[in-house]
């Protein structure tokens, strides 16, 4: 089995940092990308080799293992692969170019297969390569991250996002959760798919607690004291909510089945959290009433 000199493949040195490695990778990847070299098998193989080198040298754990091994150790007669945490199990029946888990070499799978794939330099769009049998072109499935407010998710808002300088419509599915992904077919690199990973964010007035929503609603002191009916505007509806008499600030009013969507498309509950506020534009007469109350209860 041939030793892979990943530093030589990328044209970098051991002392170089990750930014230098990324720049070298991008320059070579652009030069040898199959889309720029249609039908060129040598360029395709070189492109695979560049990606393999980058996968190792940009990943801290893989790079540490690689540097610990070294070419001289690998070529020595007494070299023991198991000392690097790997049990060598090459399957000769599958031929010399067999790769156990991906399009990388047997050298990679032998020493780094247990560490997985998918670093690809920590780019905003993390890539994982897909090769189709009998084709020279390579497609990338890409992954991006997007922060979405609870309001937009609840309203199933249709958003316009910019992908590779193109404007694309993205509709948020009902009940989308943090960590879930939206597939944008054909919007990845080189015709692959783009997966947008969603991160839901609370706002100052609306938050998510498992399947339940908590909505903060401002009420005036007299509404809290006497009780009243207030209008609560939600992203997907408008509700009339009864505020009980003598309610205290911070109290919650439960409204069944008006919360967030569950997996079975039913809904959790909505909790109206009462926040008692004072008006900002009191008349002189109103101020006098407040002063009388202050003097009475001080």
Phi and psi, residue 51, nearest 5°: -65, -40
CA 263 to chain CA centroid, Å, is: 20
Q: Other C-beta atoms within 10 Å of 128: how many? A: 16
User: Exposed e or buried b for every residue in 174-208, given b needs 16+ CB within 10 A?
Assistant: ebbeeeeebebeebbbeebbbbbebebeeeeebbb
Domains present along the chain, CATH in parentheses: 1-122 (1.10.287.110), 123-201 (2.60.260.20), 206-276 (2.60.260.20)
What pLDDT does 148 receive?
Answer: 87
Sequential pLDDT tens for the chain (298 residues): 577 899 999 999 999 999 999 999 989 988 988 888 888 889 888 988 998 888 889 888 888 888 877 655 555 544 444 455 443 332 322 323 333 334 677 777 666 655 544 444 333 333 344 433 334 445 556 777 788 889 989 988 888 777 766 778 888 888 899 989 888 888 776 677 888 888 898 988 999 999 999 999 999 999 999 999 999 999 889 999 999 999 999 999 999 999 999 988 899 999 999 999 988 888 888 888 888 888 888 7
Please state, in angstroms and rounded to a whole number, the distance separating the CA atoms of residues 68 and 198: 38
Radius of gyration of the chain (CA): 30
What pLDDT does 126 receive?
Answer: 36
Whether this model's pTM surpasses 0.75 = no
- Kindly give, in sequence order, each residue whose CB lies less than 8 Å from that of residue 4, ignoring residues fewer than 6 positions away: 49, 52, 53, 105, 107, 108
Which residues lie across from 216 on neighbouring strands?
A: 273
């Amino acid at each position: 089995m041939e030793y892979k000199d990943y530093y030589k493949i990328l044209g970098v040195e051991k002392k170089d940092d990750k930014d230098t490695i990324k720049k070298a990778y991008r320059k070579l990847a652009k030069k040898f990308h199959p889309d720029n070299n249609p039908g060129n098998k040598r360029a395709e193989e070189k492109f695979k080799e560049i990606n393999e080198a980058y996968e190792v040298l940009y990943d801290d754990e893989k790079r540490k293992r690689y540097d610990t091994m070294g070419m001289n150790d690998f070529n020595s007669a007494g070299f023991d692969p198991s000392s690097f945490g790997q049990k060598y199990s090459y399957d000769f029946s599958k031929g010399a170019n067999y790769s156990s888990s991906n399009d990388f070499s047997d050298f990679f799978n032998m020493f780094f297969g247990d560490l997985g794939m998918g670093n690809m330099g920590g780019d905003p769009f993390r890539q994982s390569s897909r090769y189709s049998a009998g084709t020279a072109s390579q497609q990338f499935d890409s992954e991006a991250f997007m922060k979405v407010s609870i309001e937009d998710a609840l309203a199933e808002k249709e958003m316009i996002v910019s992908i590779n300088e193109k404007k694309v419509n993205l509709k948020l599915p009902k009940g989308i959760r943090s960590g879930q992904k939206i597939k944008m077919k054909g919007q990845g690199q080189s015709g692959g798919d783009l997966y947008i990973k969603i991160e839901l964010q609370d706002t100052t007035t609306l938050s998510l607690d498992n399947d339940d929503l908590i909505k903060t609603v401002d009420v005036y002191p007299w509404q809290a004291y006497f009780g009243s009916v207030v209008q609560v505007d939600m992203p997907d509806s408008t509700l009339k909510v009864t505020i009980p008499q003598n309610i205290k600030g911070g109290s919650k009013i439960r409204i069944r089945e008006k919360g967030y969507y569950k997996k079975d498309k039913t809904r959790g509950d909505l909790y109206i959290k009462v926040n008692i506020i004072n008006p900002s534009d009191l008349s002189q007469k109103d101020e006098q009433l407040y002063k009388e109350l202050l003097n009475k209860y001080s």
